[in-house]
Amino acid sequence: MEPIRRIAVSTGGGDAPGLNAVIRAVAIAAFRHGWECIGIRDGYNGLFLPEQYPQGGLIALTPDRVRGITHLGGTILGTTNRGNPMKFPTPQPDGSLAEVDRTDELLGRFREHHIDALISIGGDGSLTIANHFAQKGLRVIGVPKTIDNDLAGTVITFGFDTAVSFATECVDRLHSTAESHGRVMVVEVMGRYAGWIALNTGVSSSSDVILLPEIPYQMEPVLATLRARAAAGKRYAIVIVAEGAKPAGGGHAVIEKRLGAAERLGGAGERVAKDIAEALGQETRHVVLGHLLRGGSPTTFDRLISLRFGAAAVRALAEGQSGIMVALDPPTVRYVPLADATSRMKTVPLDCDTIRTARELGICLGD
Ligand code: F6P
């Protein structure tokens, strides 16, 4: 195998706190191996669509360039969740847009720029693309990023801890206003089709009801819980709704279906709030935490696993590995095949300890 001289880093999909810490660890560890490290702007767009980047679509990630970024939210490279090269929205002769697989073209650009290996930092979408590249011969290591924590093969993805910590702080703040006004506060949190953020936030913030995508909900147990609370003299209640929660026999609340990208979820909390207000006649408000959960500085936990993941990704390349993802298997970081990590979504197991804890604490899960 040719020795590595130049590697590229790409951040794809929704951003997550800890991205910059991974970039810093990769850049410094690569430098210490004597490798050049470059960052691709906005997923692969900086490499694939150079005409859109008059200042250059690639950034030299020297140790100087990555100084002081560990604690910063977002990604210095930029990201996109619309640039999937396997389903690239491409104009057709009739003027319409169609999803076209353009990975061979993109792989050609990697060769033109003498990029020997790629570290792809992303969620299931980005890592599926990374796996496709690896199968076509590019040396690739994946790093698991997503606030949703829905990637298989790793106990935790970076960004999740920051999202849950902030969501919990928000709910803590809602308790007092809910109590003052005697209201039901419904809080919608991100997480796509997995309920990790909702479950961990709901239990940590002593919420009364938690609705998850994994448990299609009935309104009756939810209303019964709220009525019992009111009967016990409690003036208010907190209901956490995952954006992917759906009523039994119903569908997800979808805002938009997009070409070349995943559907956008939203509205699940508003739907539940409306049902509660109509059924109980109690004043109800809904709050969508949404993208607030993706912003801000990573927690210490996220910083540390991000730095560990970045260093382990470079270590894996130095060991001659490819087609794998670095993964947290406490207390160590290990490698799992990208194919396994992307073969299924990691949803909340219904018999997991946190679900059992929720039930034992009397939290209603809508079933
Ligand atoms: O995957 C991360 C995530 O934050 C999901 O929880 C959410 O559904 C989605 O991204 C929102 O993405 P967008 O950036 O398109 O609004």
Structure confidence by residue, pLDDT tens digits, 33-49: 999 999 999 999 999 99
Give dist(CA 187, CA 133) in Å, integer.
39
pLDDT computed for residue 258 by the predictor: 74
Question: Is position 15 annotated as part of the catalytic site?
Answer: no
Centroid of ligand 1 to alpha carbon of 215 (angstroms): 21
pLDDT computed for residue 260 by the predictor: 65
Q: List the structure tokens of 230.
A: 């009111």
Q: Among all chains, which residue has been given the structure tokens 């209901």? A: 239
The residue whose C-alpha atom lies closest to atom 14 belonging to ligand 1 is: 14
Nearest-atom number in ligand 1 for the CA of 261 is 15
Strand partners, 345: 151
Centroid of ligand 1 to alpha carbon of 291 (angstroms): 8
Nearest-atom number in ligand 1 for the CA of 291 is 4
Centroid of ligand 1 to alpha carbon of 315 (angstroms): 30
What residue ranges of the chain have pLDDT lower than 70?
260
pLDDT computed for residue 151 by the predictor: 97
CB 299 within 8 A of CB 161: yes
Nearest-atom number in ligand 1 for the CA of 148 is 6
Centroid of ligand 1 to alpha carbon of 293 (angstroms): 10
Ligand 1: residues within 6 Å at CB?
14, 81, 123, 146-148, 190-192, 243, 264-265, 294
The residue whose C-alpha atom lies closest to atom 15 belonging to ligand 1 is: 264
Centroid of ligand 1 to alpha carbon of 147 (angstroms): 9
The residue whose C-alpha atom lies closest to atom 12 belonging to ligand 1 is: 14
Nearest-atom number in ligand 1 for the CA of 243 is 8
Strand runs labelled E in the chain: 6-11, 36-40, 58-60, 88-91, 97-100, 117-122, 139-144, 184-189, 209-211, 237-242, 254-256, 264-265, 284-288, 324-329, 332-337
- Of 205, 199, 217, whose CA–CA distance to 178 is shortest? 205
Q: CB neighbours (10 Å) of residue 166?
A: 22
Structural domains present in the chain: 6-158+298-330 (3.40.50.450), 163-295+349-360 (3.40.50.460)
Among 15, 42, 116, 148, the one annotated catalytic: 148
Pocket test for ligand 1, best of 157, 166, 188, 192 (most atoms within 8 A of CB): 192
Tell me how long the chain is. 367
